[in-house]
Structure 1
C-alpha cells in the first residue's frame, strides 16, 4: 500500500469518525465555555495569591 493510498484511507477513517461525533448545541457550548473560563480565572487568582504570599515570605526571610 503506497503512501497516497494510506493517506486516503486515513482521511476516509477520519471523516467516518467525525460523522459519529455528537457535537454540542449552542446552549451546551455556551455553558461549557463559561465553566472553562470561570475555572481558569479562579485558578489564575489562586496562583496569583499564592505567588504574592510566597513572595512576601521570601522577602521577609531574605530581607
Structure 2
C-alpha cells in the first residue's frame, strides 16, 4: 500500500474518533463524578490515559 493511501485510510480516522470519545468520557467523569470518590478519579484517569494512548498510536501509524 502506498504511503498516501495508508494515511487516507478510513480505518485510521474511525479509531481516532473512538480515542477522542474515550478521552472526552474520561474528562466528563472527572468533572461529573463525586469529588470524594476515588473510584471516579481512577476510572477517569484510566479512560483519559487509554484515549491518549490509542490516539497517539494511531497518529504515529498514519505518519509512518
Name the TM-score class by shorter chain. 0.3 to 0.5
Scaled by the length of structure 1, the TM-score of the pair is: 0.46
Scaled by the length of structure 2, the TM-score of the pair is: 0.45
Q: Which has the higher contact order (CA 8 A, sep 6+)?
A: 2
